[in-house]
Copies of this chain bind each other. A is one copy, B any other.
Amino acid sequence: MRYCPQCGHAVNMTIPNGDNRLRAVCPSCEHIDYDNPRVITGTIPLYKGKILLCRRNIEPRFGFWTLPAGFMENQETTSEGALRETLEESGSVAKCMQLFSMISIPHINQVHLFYLAELERDDFHATEESSEVALFDLDEIPWNELAFSSVSKTLKFFIEDKKYGTYNFHEETITLNQLSSD
């Protein structure tokens, strides 16, 4: 941020009174800009024991497979956002069962949420965001072509829990070090 979104004046990076972090502060109108982490919300869409994945038709990670997920928007709940993204990316109508994973990724200022969800029908299709949408058996998951490490982690948790027949909530952190050693 270089200019004040309220008045257009150039901003300074300073620590406001009563704060302890550098913020973009406007010397003209005193507007303080708070830049906070964003929530990515999505689903693990299940249908008769299979998982729905989407092949990305957009950057980043064009051509790789992902669980349907995207930025949570204003005026919605986390689960509404998850179902909206599932519909937008895969054309399918799902129902959230439970929050399954919450993954903080501090170096990119994101928190990823994935819900266990059930597809109402065997009904999905390619979309503007997904060149291909398909149901995968658990032993067919394209591990080497997954788009994001939060997706890989979530799918691994799912397969592990499925062995025991109990689905727990999983909280994780993905760090830059971890990524480079993957």
> Given that A4-B3, A99-B169 are contacting pairs, would A74 and B37 also be in contact in the complex, using a CB cutoff of 8 Å?
yes
Most chain B CB within 10 A, of A5, A99, A173, is at A5
Q: Cβ of A24: which chain B residues have Cβ within 8 Å of it?
A: 5
Tell me if B3 and A75 are in contact (CB < 8 A): no
Chain B residue with minimal CB distance to A107? B75
Chain B residue with minimal CB distance to A20? B88
Q: Of the 9-residue stretches A28-36, A60-68, A116-124, A144-152, which lies at the interface with chain B?
A: A28-36
Q: Cβ of A111: which chain B residues have Cβ within 8 Å of it?
A: 39, 72, 78
Among residues 1 to 19 in chain A, which have CB atoms less than 8 Å away from a CB atom of chain B? 1-10, 18
User: Is A79 part of the contact surface with B, judged by Cβ < 8 Å?
Assistant: yes
Tell me if A33 and B8 are in contact (CB < 8 A): no
Please, how many angstroms separate the alpha-carbon atoms of A106 and B102 in the complex?
A: 19
Chain A interface residue count, Cβ-Cβ cutoff 8 angstroms: 41
User: Is A71 part of the contact surface with B, judged by Cβ < 8 Å?
Assistant: yes
User: Is A137 part of the contact surface with B, judged by Cβ < 8 Å?
Assistant: no
Shortest Cβ distance from residue A42 to the other chain B in the assembled complex, whole angstroms: 15
User: Is A21 part of the contact surface with B, judged by Cβ < 8 Å?
Assistant: yes
Chain B residue with minimal CB distance to A37? B72
Most chain B CB within 10 A, of A2, A4, A9, A104, is at A104
Chain B residue with minimal CB distance to A35? B74
> Given that A71-B36, A72-B37, A74-B36 are contacting pairs, would A1 and B5 also be in contact in the complex, using a CB cutoff of 8 Å?
yes
Query: 14 A–B contact pairs at CB < 8 A?
Result: A3-B4, A3-B6, A3-B7, A5-B24, A8-B8, A21-B73, A35-B74, A36-B71, A36-B72, A37-B39, A39-B111, A75-B107, A75-B109, A80-B106
